[in-house]
Amino acid sequence: MSEWKNLADGLEGPTALPSLAPFADHPGGHLGNRRFPVTLRSGFPERLRELLHDRSLTANSVGLAAWALVLSRLCRTDVVCFGQTRHGVPAELADAASIVGPMVDTLPFVVPVADDVSVNDFLADVALRHRRMYSLQPLEVSELLAGAFAPGTDDVMSTVVNHVRDADGFNDPASDLPIVRQRKSAALQPTLTVLEGEQVRFEIVTSTRHAEFGRVAASALGSVLTQIVEQPLVLADISMTSQQGDQRAELRGPSRQFGATSLAELLETSLRANAERAALDGKERLTYAELDLASRSLAHNIGLTARTEQACVAVVAPPGKHAVIAVVAAIRSGHSFVCIDPARPPAEIQILLDLIGPDVVIDAAAQDAVGVPPPGPEPQPRRARPDDLAYLVATSGSTGVPKVVEIEQASAVNAICSLIETYGMTPDDRRLRSVSRPGADVFIAELLVPLCSGATLVEAIGDRPLAPAQFFSLLDREQITIAGAASSYLAELVESRVDRGAVPAPLTLRMMTTGTEAVDPNMVATWKRAFDGSITLLNVYGPAEATLVTTTCRLSELTVPIVGTVPIGLPLPNTTVMLLDRAGHPVPMGAVGEICVAGPGVMRGYCGLETSTIVPANPAHSAERYYRTGDLGRIGADGQLVFGGRSDRQVKIRGHRVELDGVEARLRAATGGSTVAAVVAQRAGRLVLFAAVESDGPVDDVGIRSRMAAGGSPAEVPAAVVGMARLPRLANGKLDRRTIAAEIAASLSSTSPATTRALTDELPSGPAAFELSAMLALWNELFEVNDCHALSDFFDLGGDSLLAIRLAAEVDVRFDLAMDLDLLYGLRRPGPLVSAIQERILSLAQHQVIRPINVSGRDARVYFMHGAHGETHQWSSIAARLADDFDSWGIAGRVAHSKPVSASVAEACAQYSQALVQHCLGEELVIVGFSASGVLAYETARLARAAGLPVRGIVLLETVPPDLPRAVRWLATASMIRRRRSTVAAAVWIVRSARHAGLGAFRPRRRRNQVPVAKRTNVPFIDFVEGHRIKRDRLRVTSVGTRDAVVLLDLRLVWGYITGRRVTGPVLNLPMHIQLLDEDRAPEVAAIIREFAHHQSGDRQ
């Protein structure tokens, strides 16, 4: 037994062939044998006899060797196990009686496979292991099989049950390769027989129903056998597709000729053709003409500053106007650029700057100082060549130091033009920028594709994903036609759209792109049902090293059900995708191989590293370079590329590429050189990063993660760091990461999610049931633990924006309460969070409407209407600047439920007006409202005046009333579509009211550069009521910043506008993004309010 145990050393027990995972099950559940005949080259039997005679081998052992090599290549593992135990338990745990069987090869033995080993040595090693395995059989079995070892035997080559050994790290959850623990659930039983006519019959027991794998394996085995008898030098020389007629796994995109040779040419064409259109909209606005002027000025300064002919410009600016201008200026200057997120840790920014060595660094402050170009003839910018660098982008590195990808002009032009064609993007499109940060290739694609096509880039999302209702509301408000979201976030959006029925379908959206993570097939099916083909769902795939995007798949247009993994599609124009095995040989069609990309999109290399070692020559086309992505894939029956996991230790955490080796390097540095392991595990339906440290005592979990957070991205910080006296290891001495992950999971939780779900399902529902125990139950369910307490930190448990959205949705559904995400991000712990929400619930019953903001006993009063969530504290900065002239009071809201009924707006305004009558006692007042609260301010002021209160006026800040008359709504919508100005809609509403009442408009004191809104947006107010024209100078606005406007008017203007209809929709549940109320703009807004209030009271100053 000891000798046999040495033979099976390292065997962990039978597991399924991992390469079976991507292949679909046979639809009919076929239970019989499938035969796959493969024709070999002429003269194969003679060459096989020569090999057997020269090397003293048996046909049986040669067949085993060939089969081991095929399994190794198809399953991408360096150790193959033949045989199995009777009960399917690890051999070292079984006694002799349980492992001995009557069939050939029932004892397990391990065959290592290394591509650099000579073929002769490999064949001899397999034969030796085979003989030793037979010598351990019972006596009667050995005698029966003695004839199988006669040299030169070539009539039968047989193997029975075959398994791939569970190699170190192979069952990493990120690989998406299942472990089959039952005895015969995925056993392959091939029998190989050399027949007359020089054929090999490959027979497989298909109880596993993976006939497609059998076909691929048969073809590969025929190729390997044919090459083995030719006696090549090393295993790396053997390919699985060497036979004539073999179809290699390769996809080619359509051929295209794009006219431009550089990004500058694309941008110059777009800037000239779309001068009057909006290039940037949302939080900031910029026309193409303004972008042309600003970027030309900055490009001139870059040209004067650059020290070399091919300089690099580093743009260190947050998303927005400054980043757009800087990137366009760098491109127009003829130099390359790199975007660096200013939110990165300063040490990491410095590492990138040292690695890249840019000639010019631009931030927002430097850009503000550029000014206009000097007078005189404008110098000609440098003209970039196709092989010049276009941009650089940083990716994660396995050592913890980022790698910087270099992309040339020809690569960037091909990618941008291909995506414009794929998206069907035109100047009429409005592309929403996602939450991607500067420095990511997604950020570059979202920036350049719209600008090079004349479309509008909309900057309307902050650093965190929005709740589903807010996201869909934003799509309609900004008239978005193309948007993008990570697949995990998209799943939350679809769930809210379909399961909860809380969100209407977007009105203008025509395409949603997704990627960065594996897409859930169930989500795709739900998407099709939800939108009935009206919105295209596009799955995009591509590493930064292959320039933005490599393949795309229109998931919403697939006509066959998705079984298993969602396809990632077909290559972009001029792009080739090949699937290679570990030795660099093409795999047969249908087999799993490493995804390799060839074509113009292949990067030049990594900054500071030798290119030849990074981008080798294409084995199929020696003159062409290709990039090995490290991703696995196969080509499905429909010809689409299907993603199959990773071939290394790179994983995706919340959509970010994370190198586990790099995490371990940071972890060792944070722990002073201890033995560490970084692992991932599935929790709450997504991958979560954990870490283990070899330590005799407890580890400083918070301190270690804080030190790691200071030097890396949030995705690279483990959700928990666990100390272990000794990290588990395999028989070969390597860390047993699967066991480590299981022990970490066990230490963090001892209650299954099903148990937690059962407990929470029994909880009462409704606002009255909301208490700490209920919130803790939800947290336990969300994080799949059972020990959450009042001070558990949401982010320390592994929380992120998607889990925050899921938690808010659960609170909404279970308790009918709106949980503000910003409140969760700020408080982070269940105890304070529950207290804050309970305070809101209490305010429903005991509500104090009028609350002081800045009060000093003055007669003149300004009342500020609450925001979307009922608070008034956001007005404090403006109120402080009015303290010399006015007392500032807030009108607090009763907003706690996430779905207010239609009458809640009218009821709330009636309550507010009654509170004002009791509070003011006859003093004159002005009411101020922002965004949706402007509607409340108007209705409250109207009711208060009807009750006899001396309301002198209202100030509406970016207010778009939701209840316009039909004709006015049409004109407002047309205005917003053309110039995307919410203030235009407000102005139309106000002017229409003035015309209806026959009243005039208030004209505030003109300031420098003050222009009418109609003139500034080129949208005249014409002929929308009874054919009468309203003169432009009847309404003036005051410019605040570059985009926002404050509309000031006498309450008499809107006195005649009474609808009598209820406001429908969740008006009080809109997100509160206060753009006009920040510290920078507070002085100007306060001055405008002061001027208006004094004007209305007759006291002009």
Is the pLDDT assigned to residue 390 strictly greater than 50? Answer: yes
Contact 280, 291 (CB under 8 A): yes
From the CB of residue 725, how many other CB atoms can be counted at a distance below 10 Å? 8
Whether this prediction's pTM lies above 0.95 is answered by no
Name the more confident of 599 and 767.
599
From residue 679, how far is each of 179, 446, 447, 687, 714 by CA, in Å?
17, 32, 34, 10, 16
Interaxial angle between packed helices 932-946 and 904-920, expressed in degrees from 0 to 180 and rounded to the nearest 10 = 50
Q: Which of 593-602, 729-738, 917-926 shows the lowest per-residue confidence on average (mean pLDDT)? A: 729-738
Is the pLDDT assigned to residue 34 strictly greater than 50? Answer: yes
The whole-number pLDDT of residue 796 equals 73
pLDDT band with cut points at 50, 70 and 90 for residue 314: very high
pLDDT average, residue stretch 777-784: 80
- CATH match of 650-748 with 1.20.1250.20: no
Name the more confident of 807 and 370.
807
State the residue for tokens 């209809």. 1061
pLDDT average, residue stretch 340-349: 84
pLDDT average, residue stretch 161-186: 31
Enclosing H/E stretch for 724 = strand 721-724
pLDDT average, residue stretch 876-893: 82
| 905-948 confidence digits (pLDDT tens) | 667 788 888 888 878 766 778 888 776 677 677 778 778 877 88
Contact 697, 655 (CB under 8 A): no
263-635, which class in CATH?
A: alpha beta
- How many whole angstroms separate alpha carbon 455 and alpha carbon 447? 10
Indicate the SS3 state at residue 281.
Answer: strand
The whole-number pLDDT of residue 901 equals 32
The whole-number pLDDT of residue 1075 equals 37
For 524-553, letters b (16+ CB in 10 Å) and e give bebbbebbeeebbbbbbbbbbbbbbbbbbb
Contact 155, 201 (CB under 8 A): no
Contact 9, 192 (CB under 8 A): no
Q: Which of 387-401, 441-455, 835-849 shows the lowest per-residue confidence on average (mean pLDDT)? A: 835-849
Percent of the chain with pLDDT over 70: 59
pLDDT average, residue stretch 749-769: 40
Enclosing H/E stretch for 96 = helix 96-99
Is the pLDDT assigned to residue 751 strictly greater than 60? Answer: no
Angle (CA) 349-350-355 rounded to 5° is: 100
| 392-401 confidence digits (pLDDT tens) | 998 865 455 6
Query: Domain 753-843, what fold?
Result: 1.10.1200
For 497-512, letters b (16+ CB in 10 Å) and e give bbeeebbeebeebebb
| CATH architecture designation of domain 847-961+1059-1096 | 3-Layer(aba) Sandwich (3.40)
Question: Residue 487 corresponds to which tokens in the numbers above?
Answer: 């697949």
Contact 264, 334 (CB under 8 A): yes
The whole-number pLDDT of residue 1101 equals 34
Question: Beta partners for 205?
Answer: 33
Q: Which of 7-21, 347-361, 561-575, 964-978 shows the lowest per-residue confidence on average (mean pLDDT)? A: 7-21
Where are any strands of DSSP class E within 23-99? Answer: 33-39, 79-82
pLDDT band with cut points at 50, 70 and 90 for residue 599: very high
Is the pLDDT assigned to residue 152 strictly greater than 80? Answer: no
Q: Is 934 exposed, middle or buried (0-12, 13-18, 19+ CB in 10 A)?
A: buried
pLDDT average, residue stretch 148-177: 33
Is the pLDDT assigned to residue 1009 strictly greater than 80? Answer: no
pLDDT band with cut points at 50, 70 and 90 for residue 92: very low
| 1029-1077 confidence digits (pLDDT tens) | 222 223 333 322 222 223 332 222 222 222 223 322 222 222 222 333 4
- How many whole angstroms separate alpha carbon 242 and alpha carbon 224? 8
Q: Which of 269-273, 425-429, 515-519, 745-749 shows the lowest per-residue confidence on average (mean pLDDT)? A: 745-749
Domain 263-635 identical in fold to domain 847-961+1059-1096: yes
Question: Beta partners for 692?
Answer: 677, 722
From residue 1094, how far is each of 527, 919, 926, 937, 1087 by CA, in Å?
55, 21, 10, 19, 11
Is the pLDDT assigned to residue 356 strictly greater than 80? Answer: yes
- How many whole angstroms separate alpha carbon 812 and alpha carbon 804? 12
The whole-number pLDDT of residue 959 equals 45
Question: Residue 621 corresponds to which tokens in the numbers above?
Answer: 């086309």
| 99-110 confidence digits (pLDDT tens) | 333 333 345 566
Contact 749, 681 (CB under 8 A): no
Where are any strands of DSSP class E within 209-323? Answer: 250-252, 278-282, 286-287, 312-316
2-246, which class in CATH?
A: alpha beta
Contact 6, 108 (CB under 8 A): no
The whole-number pLDDT of residue 714 equals 67
Domain definitions of the chain by residue range: 2-246, 263-635, 650-748, 753-843, 847-961+1059-1096
- Per DSSP bridges, beta strands 1038-1040 and 1044-1050 are antiparallel
Rounded to the nearest integer, the mean pLDDT of the chain is: 68
Where are any strands of DSSP class E within 224-374? Answer: 250-252, 278-282, 286-287, 312-316, 336-340, 360-362
C-alpha gyration radius of the chain = 34
